[in-house]
A and B are shown apart, each in its own frame.
Chain A
């Protein structure tokens, strides 16, 4: 069928003109590009879909369906998906392009730029938007799983847009581009321990990010799972023994030699009582005791008058 190739393939290169590479993550490459017709700047995320004997795998289709459906809500804190198109097929892999609105920068760059730090009101504003976006994902039963400043985009007028959820995350292990190191810094204890996890992992990440907004430095910087856990426990202290998932955890509670904890307050002295309380509720060891996104939105910190911060 000769027509099909002209209709179904390589719409991407006909429609978009790639400008430059703007990011390379563990699962794909992101280019800045321009829509040839409208001139609109977009972000093209190239992902590689391994084709099965029966075409595009069911999971990929389900995730795309979900991405599209979420997109229809037009949530202010979720990056807008403008288009999806196929690229070439290389062997058993199909290239696909997810076309997103192009956003000025990510939060990592934004933090870096603000060498003098943020105003407390801005931190609260950014934090609230992150929680809003995450609450939206969670209410749609999506766990982001990889929240970090690089995956939070910041528009030129200071709005947060969550990026990089959904697609390609199901291939986790096979699909990683091996040269890219995946950061562990925002990972929750249950992930580090290899335990089953849920929406609470995203809350943990937000806790880390909020502290980072105050200090402009990542809170816990481990180089391995073990080191990362150690970092966490060094700062927060060991949880009570009965909170340690004794049966399932591959690492013993007693293997951590930790006596006293460093206070978050001493790491980020400019944090007020309310934000400290929120962050501590987010950095709770037991995922079941961690605050939820919806609860967080109703936390004192987000309700207080702007003046008080």
Chain B
């Protein structure tokens, strides 16, 4: 949806900033709010789509209002409440508040005032107006699964890569990436990151064409390596941020990202000397910060985050704690996926870190939200004929949607 992407400069000049909040704190508020939406959504068995939609509303909201004026956890509840309705997974406002009360420290819950439900309900209209009624939001998940279907190679490795990318997509909600780049691009970047970290190199893919240097050239245009690395680093930065609340704990080993200053230009120059530097999103000045960052490589494994639960010893990466067997990936031609709202793939059972679930400390940063769903249950919804039964599928129809008269 045009109009919802901002460049880094704009992200630094928000209403909160204008009202005196420093950028770091704003980023923390965004992260905590997103985290809180994710945790609340998870507690209420809301799917990843609803949760992600709520988080995107939240980020958009604070591009037009300040944290000083609108208490962030009230807004977060309202975003989840609205997303629930939009994604057809409605939850009662009072139930959301109940969870919020359980999750939040008393002083934070106090921002809900004496009539919390009224507070959230009143905000619904402000929220709707602020997000301009652009309620339908797409997320990288859909693209991640779609793209994964096209990749060839060792199945187990691919699956591991997809799961890791899924985790990164979850975590990316805590950044402002959804305000910067389309979901397609975020999906590509985080698959690229996961591929690097899991040492899964994609050398062949369905629909490969000599003009395509990389698999993602099939799906997105003019995405430079600089851009990909910038996106990856924004996610990786999450893992190296000190958690305010848990500062009393000893920092996990390797908590800061390797700061070796090998310039990232070896791989980028290959791409960026190509004809086009324009990208499909608004922000073109993305790569400015990447130069001082390390090249992403398997050694750039993000450090374990500040969850209080040590990762199981048998997982290849400290932050990856899937307990279930990875879902099978079915190969074949790229399928067109159903709109995410109608048929969210079911989650794979109970979460592997139950103790965090029962009482996630607001500032903790559990490594993932949901698990990647199996690929198979994603089916197109039945051809609904009534208005409101489904989502537009205009662009999935293989003919020009319309001609000028």
Specify which chain B residues have a CB less than 8 angstroms from the CB of A77 in the assembled complex. Answer: 402, 405
State A23–B405 Cα separation when bound (angstroms): 27
Interchain pairs with CB closer than 8 A, number: 139
Size of A's binding interface in residues, CB under 8 A: 53
Contact with B along A44-66 (1 / 0, CB 8 A): 00000000001111110111111
| Interface window among A7-15, A237-245, A271-279 | A7-15
Specify which chain B residues have a CB less than 8 angstroms from the CB of A142 in the assembled complex. Answer: 387, 392
> Contacts A11-B129, A55-B124, A141-B392 known; A132 to B405 CB distance under 8 Å?
yes
Specify which chain A residues have a CB less than 8 angstroms from the CB of B385 in the assembled complex. Answer: 141, 143, 198-199
Q: Does A34 contact B (CB under 8 A)?
A: no
> Contacts A66-B388, A139-B397, A142-B387 known; A8 to B129 CB distance under 8 Å?
yes
Specify which chain B residues have a CB less than 8 angstroms from the CB of A128 in the assembled complex. Answer: 405
Specify which chain A residues have a CB less than 8 angstroms from the CB of B93 in the assembled complex. Answer: 54-55
Contact with A along B366-395 (1 / 0, CB 8 A): 000000000000000001111111111110
Q: Across the interface, do A141 and B389 meet the contact criterion of CB distance under 8 Å?
A: yes
Size of B's binding interface in residues, CB under 8 A: 47
Q: Does B121 contact A (CB under 8 A)?
A: yes
Q: Across the interface, do B402 and A136 meet the contact criterion of CB distance under 8 Å?
A: yes
State A166–B132 Cα separation when bound (angstroms): 18
Q: Which residue of A lies closest to B389 (CB)?
A: A141
Q: Which residue of A lies closest to B405 (CB)?
A: A129
Q: Across the interface, do A61 and B85 meet the contact criterion of CB distance under 8 Å?
A: yes
Specify which chain A residues have a CB less than 8 angstroms from the CB of B390 in the assembled complex. Answer: 141
Question: Contact partner of A66 among B2, B69, B85, B392, CB < 8 A?
Answer: B392
Q: Does A187 contact B (CB under 8 A)?
A: no
| Interface window among A68-76, A249-257, A260-268 | A68-76
Q: Does B323 contact A (CB under 8 A)?
A: no
Q: Across the interface, do B391 and A1 meet the contact criterion of CB distance under 8 Å?
A: no
State A101–B319 Cα separation when bound (angstroms): 52
Q: How far is the CB of A63 from chain B (nearest CB, A)?
A: 6
Q: Does B136 contact A (CB under 8 A)?
A: yes
> Contacts A141-B385, A198-B385 known; A66 to B86 CB distance under 8 Å?
no
Q: Which residue of B lies closest to A132 (CB)?
A: B402
State A141–B85 Cα separation when bound (angstroms): 20
Q: Does A176 contact B (CB under 8 A)?
A: no
Q: Does A85 contact B (CB under 8 A)?
A: yes
Contact with B along A117-140 (1 / 0, CB 8 A): 000000001001100100110011
Q: How far is the CB of A105 from chain B (nearest CB, A)?
A: 17
Specify which chain A residues have a CB less than 8 angstroms from the CB of B20 in the assembled complex. Answer: none
Q: Across the interface, do B126 and A4 meet the contact criterion of CB distance under 8 Å?
A: yes
Q: Does A165 contact B (CB under 8 A)?
A: yes
Question: Contact partner of A65 among B121, B136, B383, CB < 8 A?
Answer: B136
* Interface contacts beyond A69-B391, A140-B393, A142-B392: sample of 6 additional A-B pairs, CB < 8 Å, sorted by A: A4-B123, A65-B86, A84-B133, A132-B405, A141-B384, A165-B387
Contacts A/B (CB < 8 Å), 26 sampled: A7-B65, A54-B81, A54-B90, A54-B92, A54-B121, A55-B93, A56-B128, A63-B388, A64-B133, A66-B387, A66-B391, A68-B134, A70-B392, A73-B402, A75-B402, A76-B402, A84-B132, A86-B125, A132-B402, A139-B394, A140-B392, A141-B390, A141-B391, A141-B393, A165-B387, A198-B385
Task: Give the interface of B toward A (CB within 8 A).
Answer: 1-2, 65, 69-70, 81-82, 85-86, 88, 90, 92-93, 113, 119, 121-126, 128-130, 132-136, 383-394, 397, 401-405
Closest 5 CB pairs of A and B: A8-B125, A65-B135, A8-B126, A198-B385, A140-B392
Task: Give the interface of A toward B (CB within 8 A).
Answer: 1, 3-5, 7-9, 11, 54-59, 61-66, 68-70, 72-73, 75-77, 83-86, 94, 125, 128-129, 132, 135-136, 139-143, 145, 159-160, 165-166, 169-170, 198-199
